[in-house]
C-alpha cells in the first residue's frame, strides 16, 4: 500500500529575499508549496483553483501581510475556508500591526529566529506540524523530557500567594537571569490565576461574577488548575479553567487594543492581564472548548533570545483535542 501524501502546506512570501529569510524554518517541511509575490485578488483565486490546491495550512510571511497586502487573508479564507492560517515573522522584524490581525481573526503568529539555530527551528517546525493535526500544545513539549510537572488544583483565591512562592522556590539559582525569571514567573502566574479566578467566571449575559481581588471559594465544578514545569532553562506554565468563556476572537482584539493603547494611556483597557502574559512569554497558547474549558499558557526561557521589543507569538485554538 502506498504511503499517504503529506497534507499540502501553502506558503506565501513577498519576494525571493523573504523566502530565503524563512528557508531554515521551512526547508524540511513535507508537502510545502511556496509562492512569491502572489497575484492580487481574482487572479490569485483563479490560480489556486487552476492548481487544484486544498491546503490544510497556509503560511504567510509578515513581510507580505498585513502591511503590503492587507486584503490577502480575507481572500484566502474565501478560497480555503477550512485551512488554518499561520503568520510567521522573524524575531528581528517589527511586530506586525495587530489591528488587521484582529479584524481577520488571525489565530496563529509564530516568531522564528533569524539564524539557523537548530533547536529553535525544530520546535517551531513541531508547532507547525501540531497545527496540521490540530492538537493543543502541552507543557512537556517545552521542557526537557522527564521534567516534573507541578499541578495545583485551586479551591480558594487565598492559595495564590502560596502557589507563587512555591513557583519562585522551584526556580533555583542566584544569577541575574534566574532572578529575572523568578520575577517574571511570579507576575505571569499572578495574571494567569487572576484570569481564571475573576475573568473566566461569567453569567449567561456575559457579566463577570466576581470582582478582581475579591476573596472567594472555588467550586469544584470550576476545575481551576495551575501547572508549571521547569527544566533549569525553560519555564512552561498553564492555567486551566472549566468555564470556557474566553471568546477566541477577543484574544487578538485584547492584544491589539493594549498594543495601541500604549499611545493613549488608558487605565480602563480590557484584557491588560492577557496582554502582559503575551508580552512576557516567548509564545502564548490558548485552547478554548467553548462553555467547557479554557487552557492558557506558554513558556519563557531564563536566557531569552528575544529582547523586550521583539515580537512574541501566539496560538489560539478552538476545540483542539489532546492526542
Partner 1 sequence: MSSSFRVIARSTESADYIALLGNIDASAEQQLQKLPGMVDNQLVHFDFNQAGRINSMGIALLLRCFKQIREEKKAKIVLRELNPTNTLLFKMTGVFMLASHEK
Instruction: Indicate whether 308 belongs to the interface with partner 1 (CB under 8 A).
Output: yes
Query: What nine digits make up the cell of 172?
Result: 533555583
Q: What's the CA gap between 194 and 282, in Å, rounded?
A: 20
Q: 6: number of CA atoms within 13 Å, CB side?
A: 12
User: Of 70, 266, 292, 321, which one interacts with partner 1 (CB under 8 A)?
Assistant: 266
Q: Which is nearer to partner 1, 164 or 296 (CB)?
A: 164
Is 173 a residue that touches partner 1 (CB under 8 A)?
no
Residues 273-302 that bind partner 1 (CB under 8 A): 273, 275-276, 279-280
Kindly state whether residue 208 participates in binding partner 1, applying the rule CB under 8 A.
no
Which of 99, 45, 93, 100 lies closest to 71, judged by CA?
100
Per CB under 8 A, does 306 bind partner 1?
no
Q: Which residues are CB-neighbours of 206 under 8 A, at least 6 positions away? A: 245
Bridging pattern class, strands 149-153 and 234-241 = unpaired
Q: Is 261 in the site for partner 1 (CB under 8 A)?
A: yes
Nearer to partner 1, 5 or 263 (CB): 263
Question: What is the contact mask toward partner 1 in residues 44 to 83, using x (rule: CB under 8 A)?
Answer: ----------------------------------------
Helix, strand, coil in percent for the chain, rounding step 5: 35, 20, 40
Q: What is the dihedral of CA 139, 144, 148, 154, to 10 degrees?
A: -20
Work out which of 28, 212, 219, 249 binds partner 1, going by CB under 8 A. Answer: 212
Region of 14-22, 27-35, 128-136, 268-276 interacting with partner 1 (CB under 8 A): 268-276
Q: What does the alpha-carbon distance between residue 102 and residue 106 come to, in Å, rounded to a whole number?
A: 6
Shortest Cβ 301–partner 1 spacing (Å): 15
DSSP bridge partners of 285: 297, 315
Nearest approach, Cβ of residue 231 and partner 1 (Å): 21
Q: Which one of residues 267, 291, 322, 323 is an interface residue with partner 1 (CB under 8 A)?
A: 267
Rank residues 72 and 255 by Cβ distance to partner 1 and give the closer one: 255
Please provide the DSSP assignment of 155-200 as one string: -BGGGHHHHHHHHHHHS---SHHHHHHHHHHHHHHHHHHHIIIIIS
Closer to partner 1 by CB, 44 or 275: give it: 275
Q: Residue 85 corresponds to which cell in the numbers above?
A: 492560517
Q: Which residue has the cell 484582529?
A: 102
Contact region with partner 1 (CB under 8 A), list: 26-34, 222-230, 272-280, 315-323: 272-280
Q: Does 213 bind partner 1 (CB under 8 A)?
A: yes
Q: Could you give the CA distance from residue 135 to residue 119 in angstroms, rounded to a whole number? A: 21
Q: Which of 47, 184, 223, 306 binds partner 1 (CB under 8 A)?
A: 184
Contact residues for partner 1 (CB under 8 A)? 161, 164, 180, 183-184, 186-187, 190-191, 194, 211-214, 258, 261-268, 272-273, 275-276, 279-280, 308
Amino acid at each position: 500500500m502506498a504511503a499517504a501524501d503529506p497534507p499540502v502546506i501553502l506558503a506565501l512570501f513577498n519576494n525571493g529575499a523573504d523566502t530565503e529569510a524563512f528557508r531554515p524554518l521551512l526547508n524540511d517541511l513535507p508537502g510545502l508549496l511556496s509562492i512569491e509575490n502572489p497575484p492580487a485578488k481574482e487572479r490569485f483565486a483563479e490560480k489556486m483553483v487552476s492548481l487544484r490546491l486544498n491546503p490544510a495550512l497556509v503560511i504567510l510571511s509578515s513581510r507580505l501581510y498585513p502591511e503590503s497586502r492587507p486584503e490577502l487573508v480575507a481572500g484566502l479564507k474565501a478560497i480555503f475556508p477550512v485551512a488554518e492560517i499561520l503568520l510567521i515573522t522573524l524575531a528581528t522584524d517589527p511586530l506586525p500591526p495587530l489591528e488587521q490581525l484582529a479584524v481577520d481573526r488571525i489565530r496563529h503568529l509564530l516568531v522564528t529566529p533569524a539564524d539557523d539555530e537548530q533547536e529553535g527551528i525544530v520546535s517551531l517546525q513541531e508547532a507547525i506540524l501540531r497545527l496540521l493535526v490540530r492538537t493543543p500544545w502541552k507543557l512537556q513539549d517545552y521542557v526537557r523530557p522527564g521534567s516534573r510537572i507541578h499541578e495545583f488544583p485551586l479551591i480558594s483565591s487565598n492559595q495564590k500567594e502560596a502557589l507563587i512562592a512555591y513557583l519562585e522556590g522551584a526556580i533555583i539559582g542566584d544569577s541575574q537571569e534566574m532572578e529575572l525569571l523568578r520575577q517574571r514567573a511570579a507576575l505571569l502566574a499572578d495574571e494567569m490565576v487572576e484570569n481564571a479566578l475573576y475573568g473566566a467566571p461569567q453569567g449567561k449575559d456575559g457579566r463577570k461574577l466576581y470582582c478582581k481581588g475579591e476573596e472567594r471559594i472555588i467550586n469544584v465544578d470550576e476545575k481551576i488548575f495551575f501547572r508549571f514545569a521547569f527544566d533549569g532553562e525553560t519555564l512552561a506554565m498553564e492555567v486551566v479553567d472549566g468555564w470556557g468563556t474566553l471568546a477566541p476572537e477577543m484574544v487578538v482584539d485584547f492584544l491589539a487594543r493594549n498594543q495601541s493603547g500604549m499611545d493613549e494611556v488608558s487605565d480602563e483597557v480590557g484584557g491588560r492581564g492577557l496582554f502582559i502574559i503575551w508580552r512576557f512569554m516567548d509564545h502564548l497558547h490558548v485552547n478554548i472548548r467553548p462553555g467547557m474549558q479554557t487552557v492558557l499558557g506558554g513558556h519563557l526561557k531564563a536566557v531569552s533570545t528575544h529582547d523586550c521589543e521583539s515580537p512574541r507569538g501566539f496560538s489560539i485554538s478552538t476545540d483542539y483535542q489532546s492526542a
